[in-house]
Chains A and B, each alone.
Chain A
Amino acid sequence: MSDNDSQQSEPATDGSGPGIVAPDDEVPSWRERKERTTGLSRLTYEYFERARREDQDLRQESSYVERDVLGFPAWPHETIRNLAISSFFIGMLLFLAATMPPTLEDAANPAVTPEIILPDWYLYWSFGLLKLGPINPELSILGGDKIMSDELYGVLANAVVFGAIAIVPFLNKGSARRPVEQPFWAAIGVGGVMFAFTTSVVAVQNLAPIDPNITFDLAFLLPLVAATITYAVLKTMREGYMYDLNRRYYRLRPPR
């Protein structure tokens, strides 16, 4: 503290002036300055240098084919294509809006509960998840009580669905892209889509002329069935697909 004070009271005699110094030959280059750092910034610098070198090496090794012509031109080719697609799409929107205008229901009335309460169609699946009460487990150690309310169970189901979708890229690795190359993940996807549809049906069950118990069971059975069929079909297709690839391969490089 006192040391600091005495430093401040003394006039600066080292020529540093007000703090901003014009760059001259003495000013270190970016690189020199970075090499002088320590700790995390030093680590960052070292990593970036490595990454840059890695990029350069990769570029030198690569046999990537570059075109000798410019790419698909933004003007007019790409622009006209985009304009055409956009106009078509906006036209489609206007057509829908003109032919199927929305209605305005009765004004809000807290005293009268309508017979059918439904959100917009894209939330049916979420609304269906709120009705999963029957599979909310009753724990015998709690004397048959449920560990959480049915409402909380439904809200958590929504969170679980979103979480599951979000972590997909961290579970499914590798370079496979086509469904035939990864029957398991395609089956998961088809099962998920099917589950979205069946939970939607659960949500609108008071509109469907089916026993609610049957819809509820089907909500879990149908996705499983769909996933299994997808898996079987894609697995079978993969045999043919790999056969085709192998045949092409051996035609190019016949075995000795």
Chain B
Amino acid sequence: MSLERKDEYDHNAWLKERDLSVVEKTYLMTLIWFDRRFRLVDYLEILENMYYKINLQMPKSHTEQYNLDNKFWYWYPLYALGSFSVIAYLVAALTGALLGFYYAPSTAGTPPESYALLTTIMADQNFGFMLRSIHRWSAQVMTAAVFLHMLRVYFTGAYKEPREVNWIIGVILLALTVGFGYTGYLLPWNQLAFWAGQIGVEMALAVPLVGEWAAQMVFGGFSLGQPTLQRMYILHVFVLPFVVTALIALHIGIVWMQGIAEPH
């Protein structure tokens, strides 16, 4: 194999005969410059492929085939609950990242430092009160949407074969969403947070054999303190986001693969 240059298309002659405007000429020169180096033309195939993946030649859906659309349109909002929980999750992630700039988990001092930081966020930061309000409400709405989504799936029988695996992933996601809410509930380190944490520790300790280990692991001890808050913080901002985001992606990916269980 030789590296000698072969004949090339004379793009410059082609450009001359086209009689282009300056903008068009600059654009084409840039395109050719990059194409010489990266062979962009090879990637056109990927774009074309994506085009056909997005604009699929769809088979007629069940509702279309049996002309059920006129009877079922009023159920469609219930089919948006899954997307609603994802949107609420994204809003919570965004506001959570912003809140994270001003928050640190610490129980030191009176009032506890975390609590004092929350007071600062709500009283002194620009839009801090609104930010916390949005974060809290999106969490509430996400949980509500997840519960209602599960009810919709149950009452329309959408969990049936072949969708059992996705139903189980959904149940896990429900538990993790509630866990997200619980760990977030503990972060302000106010009275409600402290005593909700107390209930959590007692629940863990009630379990024989693994209970004490679980209490050490999740709550950092048998009584609440700095380790508890630290662990809740890490669970809330590091562990759960990765796990839940991955599971949501899997959940939606499976829905994409298997198709939506339509009403019939």
> How would you classify the secondary structure of chain B's contact residues: helix, strand, loop or mixed?
helix
Stretch at the interface among A22-30, A148-156, A237-245: A148-156
Given contacts A172-B160, A177-B264, A178-B156, contact A97 B194 (CB under 8 A): no
Asked whether B155 lies within 8 Å of A179 as measured between CB atoms, the reply is yes
Shortest Cβ distance from B147 into A: residue = A122
Instruction: Give the B interface residue count (CB, 8 A).
Output: 76
Asked whether A107 lies within 8 Å of B167 as measured between CB atoms, the reply is no
Binary flags per residue of A78-122, CB closer than 8 Å to B gives 1, else 0:
000010011001100110111011101111111011100111111
Shortest Cβ distance from B188 into A: residue = A104
Shortest beta-carbon distance from B34 to chain A in Å: 26
Given contacts A104-B122, A162-B171, A193-B151, contact A177 B157 (CB under 8 A): yes
23 A-B pairs with C-beta separation under 8 A: A65-B65, A70-B56, A86-B83, A86-B87, A90-B87, A96-B141, A97-B136, A100-B137, A104-B190, A107-B112, A108-B115, A108-B191, A117-B199, A119-B182, A119-B196, A122-B147, A122-B178, A155-B203, A165-B150, A169-B160, A182-B157, A185-B157, A189-B151
Q: Which residues from chain B sit less than 8 Å from chain A, CB to CB? A: 54-60, 65, 80, 83-84, 87-88, 91, 107, 110-112, 115, 118-119, 122, 129-130, 132-134, 136-138, 140-141, 143-144, 147, 150-151, 154-161, 163-164, 167-168, 171, 175, 178, 181-182, 185, 188-196, 198-199, 202-203, 205-208, 224, 261, 263-264
6 additional A-B pairs beyond A93-B88, A102-B133, A168-B154, beta carbons within 8 Å, are A93-B138, A104-B118, A108-B193, A117-B199, A152-B207, A165-B171
Q: Which residues from chain A sit less than 8 Å from chain B, CB to CB? A: 64-67, 70-75, 82, 85-86, 89-90, 93-94, 96-98, 100-102, 104-110, 112-114, 117-123, 126-127, 130, 149, 151-152, 154-155, 162, 165-166, 168-170, 172-179, 182, 185-186, 189, 193
